[in-house]
Amino acid sequence: MRMIITMVAVMSNFIIQAMLAGIFIALAAGPMGCFLVWRRMAYFGDSMSHSALVGIALGISMGVSYSLGIMLVCILFAVALGSLELKGNLATDTLLGILAHSSLSLGLIWISLMSHPINLEAILFGDILTITYHECMVIVLGVLIILGCIFKMWPKLILLTLHEDLAFAEGVHVKKIKWIFMALLSMMVAFSVQVIGILLLMSLMIIPAATARQWARTPLSMSLLAMLIGALSVVLGIWGSMQFDVPSAPCIVLCATLLFMSSLLRSSA
């Protein structure tokens, strides 16, 4: 009997940790996803998340946290994209496609050449139920930093989203704000890999933001609603994965999609 009680207590702890980590990731993904939707940068965010695999391989090879490797590679990804846009004559979406798939292929090859085994499925699709207490606290701290930076820069980000030239005329350091946003997006990718996985990461940013857009009338209300929808998707997704014994990350994305479809049906009614 004591063994059963202990097992229930341990199970409750890891579910609570998974819920807490997922909800906090969703809270940061809400406003980040709104800016990606407003600026039509969804494909950019998806391409950057693909480069995270190279960051994981780099972090493991250097013997440091793979989160640090992801942030470094994501920033280099943004720099490479900017350089290619200035020097080449190819469209941005073409460059993003090249960088995304080449970095994903490089990461897969790099990891396959490593001597010690790596759970590639967990990296690609996430494994939120294996998050430890320490990892959960790191995610919470990182998300609080991201949210603090976003809401501190909120007026400048909104002005930049509306019109870059107008923002520049109002004294906004456009390039500086852009690079800070890229750094925050890199942090978001790094913290979210274990929760939702590389291939599904952007869905937790884009789908709740797109859902919130059906209801919200102001940028702030859309951002707050996206946070709420994302958190609800995490809770429903983890509950569904436990009930039906299916992977958590795809279940979270499916719940977010169902909420989006419901909002479409309600708005068209």
Residue of 170, 147, 165 whose CA lies nearest to 224? 147
Residue range 69-95: mean pLDDT, rounded: 80
- CA-CA distance, 156 to 220, in Å (whole number)? 13
Q: What domains lie within the chain, and their CATH numbers?
A: 2-268 (1.10.3470.10)
Q: How far apart are the first and last CA of the chain?
A: 54
State the pLDDT at residue 8.
46
Residue carrying structure tokens 């720099």 = 79
Q: What pLDDT, in 10s, does the model give residues 15-63?
A: 888 889 899 999 999 999 999 888 888 788 888 888 888 888 888 888 7
What are the distances in angstroms from CA 119 to CA 116, 124, 185, 266? 10, 9, 24, 41
From the number of C-beta atoms within 10 Å of its C-beta (0-12, 13-18, 19+), residue 34 rates as buried
Q: What pLDDT, in 10s, does the model give residues 130-163?
A: 888 888 888 899 899 999 999 899 999 998 888 8
Q: What pLDDT, in 10s, does the model give residues 197-255?
A: 887 888 889 999 999 998 888 999 999 999 999 999 999 999 998 888 888 888 999 99
Contacts of 27 (CB under 8 A, 6+ apart): 143, 147, 227, 230, 231
